[in-house]
Structures are given as structure tokens and as C-alpha cells.
Amino acid sequence: MGHRILLIEDDARLAASVREYLAKAAFEVAIAGTARDGVRRLEAEPFDAVLLDLMLPDQGGLELCRALRADSDVPILMVTARGDDEDRIVGLELGADDYLAKPFNPRELLARLRAILRRRAGPEGPRRKTLRFGRLEIDKDARSVRVGGEERTLTSYQFDLLCVLAVAAGRVLSRERLMDMARGEALDAFDRSIDVHISRIRAAIEDDPRRPRRILTVRGAGYVFARVQDEATDRGR
């Protein structure tokens, strides 16, 4: 049995077309025409990912994304006719894993959906399952992050970005390299999306996100994960 996807989309013709296309790739797609129906389906059934339209008749997609992310880590791919950078950035800040603007090529939708599901299964990398850096602990099996024993919340994509950076600690990685390594394949993405995700990761793991000590920006080159061993000790130096 293939992955189960919930498509929250009020355009019945588009929804039917997407379901037909994804069915050929062995995906089982359930359709909800409203935000309320989508929430009801998610509460009653397990799904591997959500395709979420931004403009719904009873509730904005951004508001729904915020509500879903508050109590679920299900991967969310926003699909919408509103392609402004600001909308994309807000969607990512609210917890969406990826963003696709209409009209879209069905093959790109399938590729992005598969990339999200691969990230949910876990990024490829060394066999070492738990990464520890001072108070920061990254459990790759449980897909959890803790700082000083306290669990922090990240989206599936943000967790994978953190893993990629941590495994390559001390090495500068460009934005393009980060996207390729986290997605598992090269896909078009607007450059600022990585910056938004990095900002969210910093907010989750840094003592002071405005003065990061773990994930550093290398101007003109990308990002580097610093090998800070003990934040409390370092502050006392």
C-alpha cells in the first residue's frame, strides 16, 4: 500500500486531477474541500503528508497551517495560486515543509512530495544515530532535538537541514548544497527559503538566536555548524 495523502483543496476539478495523477504513482489521496473537513479527516485518520491550498472557503490556508503545526508534525506541502515571496516565507515560518505555486507541473508536485516523504523517513548519512554537541542532542532515529534535555520543535525539513549541518560540522555549506543534501535531489527553490528555515532552527536551538553560536552565517558562502562543546563553560571564559 502506498503513502496516504490528504489534499485540502476546494477546486474539485484540480483535486480530482491531482488524485488521478498521484494514484498512478501508488499514492492514496483523500480530498477535503474545506479547512473544517480537512481537520476532521486528520483527527480521524492517519496521513503521511498534507497538500494544503492557501485559499479555502472557510479558513485561510496559512491560519490552518499554523493550527495543524501546533499539534502535529505531519509534513505539509502548500499548493496555491498565490506565489508572492511574502506568502511563501510566512508559510515556511508557520511550519510548512515546502511550497509549490499554481499552475504547477504534476511531475514537480510528485517530486516535491516524494522529497518530503524521504525527509520524514530520515536523511541518509553516517550510521551514527545520535549526534551530541554540548547540551545539544540530535536523535536521528527518533527525529528529535533536545537542548539541555528539553525537547525542541522543528519541521521535518528543518530537522533534516540541522542533521546535514551537524554531520558536516566545521564545513561551510552553500545554500544550494544544503538544499540538495536535505532534499535528496536538486529542485528549484527560492533562495530565501533556506534563510527562513535556518532562522527557525536557530530559534529552536540557540540560547540567543540573534547572536547564534551554533549555526553561523559565512557571508557570501553559506552556513557552518560550529563545534561548541559546552555553552555554559564558554560563556564563563
Tell me: pLDDT of 231 over 80: no
Does the CA dihedral 50-56-60-64 come out positive or negative?
A: negative
Q: What is the pLDDT of residue 83?
A: 58
Q: What is the pLDDT of residue 9?
A: 94
Q: What is the pLDDT of residue 100?
A: 87
Structural domains for the chain? 4-121 (3.40.50.2300), 130-235 (1.10.10.10)
Q: What is the pLDDT of residue 164?
A: 87
Q: What is the pLDDT of residue 79?
A: 85
Q: What is the pLDDT of residue 119?
A: 73
HSE at residue 128, side-chain half, CA atoms within 13 A, is 11
Q: Which of 166, 155, 160 is nearest to 224 (CA)?
A: 166
pLDDT in tens, 166-216: 888 888 888 887 877 776 444 444 456 788 899 999 999 999 999 999 999
Q: What is the pLDDT of residue 68?
A: 87
Q: What is the pLDDT of residue 232?
A: 43
The span from the CA of 55 to the CA of 42, in Å, is 19
The span from the CA of 112 to the CA of 193, in Å, is 15
Cell numbers for 180, please give them.
540538495
Helices 175-183 and 156-167, interaxial angle, to 10°? 110
pLDDT in tens, 118-154: 876 654 443 446 788 888 999 887 889 999 989 999 9
pLDDT in tens, 92-115: 778 888 888 888 899 999 999 998
Peptide bond into 212 cis (omega under 30): no
Average pLDDT of span 80-89: 70
